[in-house]
Amino acid sequence: MRDDDLRASGNIEDRRGMGGATKGGLGIGAIVILTLLGWATGIDPRMLIGGAEMVTGGNGPAVSAPGQQGVPTDQMGNFVAKVLGETEDVWTQVLPQQAGKPYEKPTLVLFSGVTQSGCGTAQSSMGPFYCPLDHKLYLDTSFFQDMQRRLGGGGNFAYAYVIAHEVGHHVQNLIGLLPKVQQAERQTDKRSANALSVRTELMADCLAGVWAYHMNQRHQNIDQNDLRQAVATATAIGDDRLAQQAGRGAVVPDSFTHGSAEQRVQWLSAGLQSGQVKACNTFQN
């Protein structure tokens, strides 16, 4: 994927190298334990960590100092800024046209190791995520190295897909879907909540595909090798593949929170082929 003519966004908050929370919060050991517990039980680790912080946070929630604002100067940071800028340019046009909603640009927080978000502690082992409470995306770029080393994915378009997936959650938030799903998850049993989570994540995959379709229409910067990389990455980070790699024995679909490898490829492809938000309604298909 070529990025030479993509506009770099200045909506980056760079906290890399700044360490973690400045006060309160949980220790790294507790965060690791809760992350592993969430992985084993199928519960979002952020919910466990956030709940523990509420119980132990007698001095208030931990906070992180604001990072440097603007376009990073290092190669990977600059690449992330360009991908974010292209998501801004595409969705500023597409969301009003296809969904009748204005697009509000989110901030992307780059961090290393651990930091604080509006949704609780962000840790690199949790992977990239979007926090609807502060409208920010959180990314430790070491995740890209993990994709290459452990998950069998990698390459610029694969990295862009990961960022675009999190932006997809922001789009869901802007159209009012994310709050409804989160409320429904709180009011139902674990199995049904997991099913709702899967549909939400697969829709974000599809929206990432919609973005890629329009980016390619604008710049003709995606080739067949890029598409293969994206499919390989979607396959590598499916719940079934991750469970097998973690040695958890039999794969239990009811415990999925992101969808199987086959589902992720299917919905990413749906967005890539159509370029239409309406093609991403995973709640009716």
Q: Stretch 250-278: mean pLDDT, rounded?
A: 75
pLDDT for the residue numbered 247: 42
pLDDT for the residue numbered 45: 55
pLDDT for the residue numbered 22: 44
Of 5-9, 85-89, 243-247, 264-268, minimum mean pLDDT range: 243-247
pLDDT for the residue numbered 240: 33
pLDDT band at 254 (very low <50, low <70, confident <90, very high): very low
pLDDT for the residue numbered 29: 54
Residue 70 CB burial class (10 angstroms; 0-12, 13-18, ≥19): middle
Matching residue, tokens 């930091």: 115
Query: Per-residue b/e over 183-195, b at no fewer than 16 CB within 10 Å?
Result: eebeeeeeeebbb
Q: 229-238, pLDDT tens digit by residue?
A: 888 777 766 4
Helix locations, the chain, DSSP H: 28-41, 45-56, 75-99, 142-149, 156-174, 177-186, 190-219, 224-236, 239-245, 261-274
Cβ–Cβ < 8 Å for 159, 79: yes
pLDDT for the residue numbered 216: 96
pLDDT for the residue numbered 20: 58
Q: 27-56, pLDDT tens digit by residue?
A: 555 555 555 555 554 555 555 555 555 444
pLDDT surpasses 90 at 276: yes
pLDDT for the residue numbered 131: 92
Q: 89-147, pLDDT tens digit by residue?
A: 999 999 999 999 999 999 999 999 999 999 888 888 778 889 999 999 999 988 888 77
pLDDT band at 66 (very low <50, low <70, confident <90, very high): confident
Q: 214-229, pLDDT tens digit by residue?
A: 999 999 999 998 988 8
Share of the chain above pLDDT 90, in %: 47
